[in-house]
Amino acid sequence: MKFRRTLSGLGLAAVLALSGCVSGGPEISRQIYTSEYGAVKDGGYNIPAVPIDRVPKKYHRQIVSYFTKEKPGTIIVNTKQRHLYFILPGNKAVRYGIGVGRAGFAWEGEAYVKWKQPWPRWHPPKEMIAREPRLKKYANGGQDPGLSNPLGARALYLFDKNGKDTLYRLHGSPEWKSIGTAASSGCIRLMNQDVIDLYSRVKPGKDAKVVVIQ
């Protein structure tokens, strides 16, 4: 997975300014969805409940105040804070907890959601297969959808401004313990209950802008 680092070399303050993500104040929680992590039947699969009391509350889905110049519908991913924001009108955002790439796989830049898919098939990139030979069995047909699939219940596919697949995804994961950590190989993971909610809000296309900052 190799992403063009369009914002590399810039200080964090400059990155924030360029992306229009400078906050005008603290993120005050307006509504928290701690009760939304129970078992879910979806697409013929039974998604287990998340023991949400074992996940720090700052990573529970919630509506927060958020000041940005980005348009509603934009997704802002703050890899350092382990938060993903879906921008709403009126200086608000839905904030989700995320897991991010391990050191060496972290990435930043701008992209857009070209398409999205429920219960996707996972095709590990060649670079990943080279690092982890056990994945060679998925080289051709990929891994079937399901509860053990690394992309979880939903995947949103990120493309660059030239329409080229970045090979990065916003996706679900059954590994709730990884939320708030740097545990995955580059992609942004959410709890399955959260990625289902995010998926329902995103309309693929050039207006579905994604800004990733470190």
Catalytic residues: 171, 187
Containing 204, the helix (H) or strand (E) segment is none
Radius of gyration of the chain (CA): 17
Distance separating the N- and C-terminal Cα atoms of the chain: 17
Q: How far apart are CA 104 and CA 199, in angstroms?
A: 28
Q: Which of 20, 55, 15, 52 is nearest to 37 (CA)?
A: 52
| Backbone dihedral region for residue 167 (phi beyond 0: left; psi -120 to 50: alpha; all else: beta) | left
Q: How far apart are CA 114 and CA 202, in angstroms?
A: 10
